[in-house]
Structure 1
Amino acid sequence: MARVAMLGLGFSLAPQPSLAQLAIQPLQDSVVLPDYDRGRNVGVAETPQPDYDPLGISAGDFRVFPSLTATTQVNSNVFFNDFDKHADIAELIQPSVFATSDWSNALVQVYATDQIRRDARYAVLDRNTWATYVSGRLDMTDALTVTTLVQAGRFTENPYASVVDGVFAVLSQYDQVTASVKGAWTGGHLRVTAQYEHAVQAYAPLRAAAAGTIDQAYRDNRNDRELVQAEYALSPGLAVYSQVSLDAVKYRYTGAMGLSDRNSTGAAVVGGVSLDWSGVARGALGIGYSRRDYTSGAFPDPGGLSVQARIEVFPSAMTTVTGSAYRLLRDANSGASVAYYDSHVECDVDHALRRNVIVSARLYYGNQAFVEDPRRRTFYQASLVGKVKFDRRFNADINLGYGKSTTNGSLAGAPFGQFVGSVALQVGI
């Protein structure tokens, strides 16, 4: 199945993503790049494979693709803490179903997945995460398209991205509901996009063996974001764009843990270029300024440089090299801080040894710099993944990786390093 670009939110979905991608993640990302794909290039992971892609089940105007994935994972440091390392083996079972319509001027897609995890030694790591979404696209006219998305799920925080210590992030779960609507109008060389997104997060109590149960309700929040973007094509393969976005974060409890009102508003202005050159590269680069203003005068109102970039290079039909980077000013959503600069650099290489065998390598660097104190956290990751499609029904992934985090003091959390390996098998229809 080809990946489906969704609503310009800076993410992509696949009915059959990499099986080694164990975490179920929400469909929300503050990195919003223009839709730079003009159909001039096809990445290795997107290449159609008629002999290996599932046929699905016909259900009226829909095609339905059910699947079941079983994964065994070995982790050398399951609590993300070098001061108290523990290794463990986990088993994960994940049923999924994806359905897509087959209409000429509209598209409806439905996805649902549930992942059950059980660890051999530490029951505190056992969890159930799930996600479901419904998306739709309607071509109102030749020039105007409207797309919508509604998603709900229970997710686990990512220790390589969370603002809380890794030992707490790996135990922390939250429910999130997201709804968005986007309209895109195209006329001549000009494309104008307007988007509204609403998300609500509710954090579950954290089951930490050493500290008992920790109430995280003070982190519950809602986020509303509006975005307007204009693109002007200089040529069939090159365009310039400008983007203005506004957002508001409101917490359910604003005075918890002795903190002042943490509600805030944000604004960002970004300008840049997007390109899609046949057989060479495609991507987008934007540079601008972002700022956050807090209701309480107890916190600073930071502002600074914003960067968002993604480039895909095609040295051959069998290899795709992807680089991405961003620097964003984010609301911290934690009791220790209100805002931080989040920086990210990543390089991915996908190479097809055969049509049905893809090897992928990934290098990742991340940095969190908090604005009201000197705390710093740095993350590193490297992984190698082998993906095999045996036939239309059976797929397998093998994933080997190493991750590391360093901090500049105990207030920023514990450092950690870990080796992770997993084998995933999937059967689909």
Structure 2
Amino acid sequence: MKLLTSAATAAFFMLVVPHVASAQDLGSNFKRDRNVTVRERPRPDYEAKGIKAGGFTVYPRVTGSVERNDNIYATAIAEQDDTIWRVKPEVAIRSDWSRHALGAFASATINRYSDFDTENTEEYTVGVNGRADITRGSNVTGSLQYQKRTEPRTSPTSPLAAATPVEYSLVTGSVIGVKEFNRIRLTGRLTDRNYNYDDVRNIAGGVLDQDARDRNEIYYGLKAEYAVSPDTALFGSIVGNTKNYDLATSGRDSDGYSATVGANFELSSLVRGEIEIGYMDQSYDLPIYDDIDGVSAKAEVEWFPTQLTTVTFDGSRTIEEAVATGSQGYISNNVSASVDHELLRNVLLSAEASYGKDDYQSIDRNDKRTGASAGVTYLINRNVGVFLTYTYLKQESSGGQRGSSFSDNKLAASIALQF
């Protein structure tokens, strides 16, 4: 539904979905379209038509929001609240070709705080993507994206002593190739991410050097699937990575991999999803850092109790980069459950609960996070939508080198205009 999707996400899905649907019409053993989630369901009377431009369609959109945050610095004491005003212009462009595809997107987010203007930020994203249809069941997709982003104060990697939010740039390039023949589908992928962090002032007036966080991450992998039936496939996947920091003194250069097995499925009209489990390992160049290894897991299961309600369960266990002094990384465990309900054709209700735990390596620190959210979406017509969202986050950090502990409540109201 184009009214509910940001320009960057919309551009990707508008690029990929038409081809997937056509492949499924040709008798793919990997189609999983028996059910449609509340958010995916077409609503022709409430979707943007876009602006035709030759063989392309342009989808402009702008969202205005006001948010009340009761703990803008994400601290346990001396909490400060503020009202944040936000404007987000976006545009997505996609081709209307019968074969192959080309798209582009751009968005910006301008945040203005009523009382604490040192928290004001501007973010933006620009990108292009494309798909080449080679033969039936075979295609190659590629994307290139540049982002200027701000690290949230609630992030576990946000420096506690920073006087202003940390800004950084992220350049991401990706190539994915898919080959499907009869009961077998092979997917290969290559992703390159380059992070560049800006230095930031500390609360004492000095400078917090962020150069030690600048890095390049390369991921490469292969996934092989076998369809045991039209609604169930088993697969094996291996994904390797190489992470190189710009400064050798950071000591966190590493190589790693995760090897998993799993299944994707759509069982009757009630359940659809993908589950995988395996082993992960990250080896560090600096001898003082031990390898991080253990069970790797990822799951997304959608339950359809009725056509008007979708319940989604997510879970993951991954190795993440750390910025805490003395730690090479941490194992992040996350689970969540969300529900979307179509109260009326143009009124959607949503709620989510989540829990996460980060176990840091080489230092005495553990973080636990509890989150919840609830929202209402009211689609007035194909050009206007109104949103109301409440978000809660609590983090408890323990250990001799613990990070920040806090709780944070946000209430936001938004209006989106699109054409």
Q: Which amino acid aligns with 2:304?
A: F
1:50 matched to 2:40:
no
1:146 matched to 2:140:
yes
The 8 Å contact of residues 171 and 207 in structure 1, kept in 2 or not, is answered as: no
Alignment match, 1:345: 335
Residues 205-258 of structure 1: per-residue CA shift (max 9 Å, x gap): 2244445431201100000111000000010110101001110000001215xx
Deviation at 1:14, TM superposition (A): 3.1
Q: 2:244 is paired with a residue of what secondary structure?
A: strand
Residues 50-81 of structure 1: per-residue CA shift (max 9 Å, x gap): 00101110011111110111110100000000
Residues 148-174 of structure 1: per-residue CA shift (max 9 Å, x gap): 011111112245553345675981221
Q: 2:36 is paired with a residue of what secondary structure?
A: coil
1:193 matched to 2:187:
yes
Rounded to whole Å, the distance in 1 between the matches of 2:87 and 2:30 is 36
Q: How high is the sequence identity, in percent, across the aligned residues?
A: 28
The 8 Å contact of residues 109 and 136 in structure 1, kept in 2 or not, is answered as: yes
Deviation at 1:323, TM superposition (A): 0.5
The 8 Å contact of residues 3 and 14 in structure 1, kept in 2 or not, is answered as: no
The 8 Å contact of residues 378 and 407 in structure 1, kept in 2 or not, is answered as: yes
Alignment match, 1:228: 222
Alignment of 1:316-355 (within 5 A): 316-355=306-345
Rounded to whole Å, the distance in 2 between the matches of 1:58 and 1:104 is 16
Rounded to whole Å, the distance in 2 between the matches of 1:62 and 1:403 is 41
Equivalent of residue 196 in structure 2, options 179, 194, 202 = 202
Distance 1:188 1:166, change over 3 A: farther
Deviation at 1:330, TM superposition (A): 2.2
Distance 1:4 1:52, change over 3 A: closer
The 8 Å contact of residues 77 and 418 in structure 1, kept in 2 or not, is answered as: yes
Alignment match, 2:359: 369
Alignment match, 1:13: 9
Distance 1:55 1:192, change over 3 A: same
Distance 1:377 1:267, change over 3 A: same
The 8 Å contact of residues 158 and 166 in structure 2, kept in 1 or not, is answered as: no
Alignment match, 1:241: 235
Structure 1, gaps ≥5 residues long: 6-11, 18-34
Deviation at 1:337, TM superposition (A): 1.6
TM-score by length of 2: 0.91
Distance 1:211 1:309, change over 3 A: farther
Residues 89-130 of structure 1: per-residue CA shift (max 9 Å, x gap): 110111100111111121222111001111011111100011
Q: Which amino acid aligns with 2:318?
A: L
Equivalent of residue 385 in structure 2, options 359, 376, 395 = 395
Equivalent of residue 397 in structure 2, options 394, 407, 411 = 407
1:292 matched to 2:282:
yes
Distance 1:417 1:175, change over 3 A: same
Deviation at 1:40, TM superposition (A): 1.6
Deviation at 1:135, TM superposition (A): 1.4
The 8 Å contact of residues 221 and 240 in structure 2, kept in 1 or not, is answered as: yes
The 8 Å contact of residues 72 and 153 in structure 2, kept in 1 or not, is answered as: no
Q: 1:124 is paired with a residue of what secondary structure?
A: helix
Rounded to whole Å, the distance in 2 between the matches of 1:177 and 1:391 is 36
Distance 1:138 1:278, change over 3 A: farther
Alignment match, 1:310: 300
The 8 Å contact of residues 401 and 419 in structure 1, kept in 2 or not, is answered as: yes
The 8 Å contact of residues 3 and 47 in structure 2, kept in 1 or not, is answered as: no
Deviation at 1:293, TM superposition (A): 0.7
1:100 matched to 2:90:
no
Rounded to whole Å, the distance in 2 between the matches of 1:209 and 1:299 is 31
Structure 2, gaps ≥5 residues long: 14-28
Deviation at 1:355, TM superposition (A): 1.1
Q: Which amino acid aligns with 1:81?
A: T
Rounded to whole Å, the distance in 2 between the matches of 1:56 and 1:253 is 46
Q: 2:44 is paired with a residue of what secondary structure?
A: coil
Q: Which amino acid aligns with 1:77?
A: N
Q: 1:412 is paired with a residue of what secondary structure?
A: coil
The 8 Å contact of residues 161 and 203 in structure 2, kept in 1 or not, is answered as: no
Question: Which moved further from structure 2: 325-334 or 98-107?
Answer: 325-334
Rounded to whole Å, the distance in 2 between the matches of 1:382 and 1:99 is 34
The 8 Å contact of residues 313 and 336 in structure 2, kept in 1 or not, is answered as: yes
Give the RMSD, CA atoms, in angstroms: 2.3
Rounded to whole Å, the distance in 2 between the matches of 1:276 and 1:348 is 19
1:184 matched to 2:178:
yes
Rounded to whole Å, the distance in 2 between the matches of 1:285 and 1:426 is 35
Residues 306-343 of structure 1: per-residue CA shift (max 9 Å, x gap): 11101011111111000100111223255442111011
Alignment match, 2:255: 265
Distance 1:14 1:146, change over 3 A: same
Distance 1:4 1:295, change over 3 A: farther
Rounded to whole Å, the distance in 2 between the matches of 1:131 and 1:266 is 29
Alignment match, 1:250: 244
Equivalent of residue 116 in structure 2, options 118, 122, 131 = 122
Rounded to whole Å, the distance in 2 between the matches of 1:299 and 1:369 is 15
TM-score by length of 1: 0.89
Question: Which moved further from structure 2: 126-135 or 275-284?
Answer: 275-284
Rounded to whole Å, the distance in 2 between the matches of 1:291 and 1:373 is 19
Alignment of 1:18-97 (within 5 A): 38-97=32-91
The 8 Å contact of residues 163 and 201 in structure 2, kept in 1 or not, is answered as: no
Alignment match, 2:23: none
Distance 1:208 1:73, change over 3 A: farther
Rounded to whole Å, the distance in 1 between the matches of 2:162 and 2:266 is 42
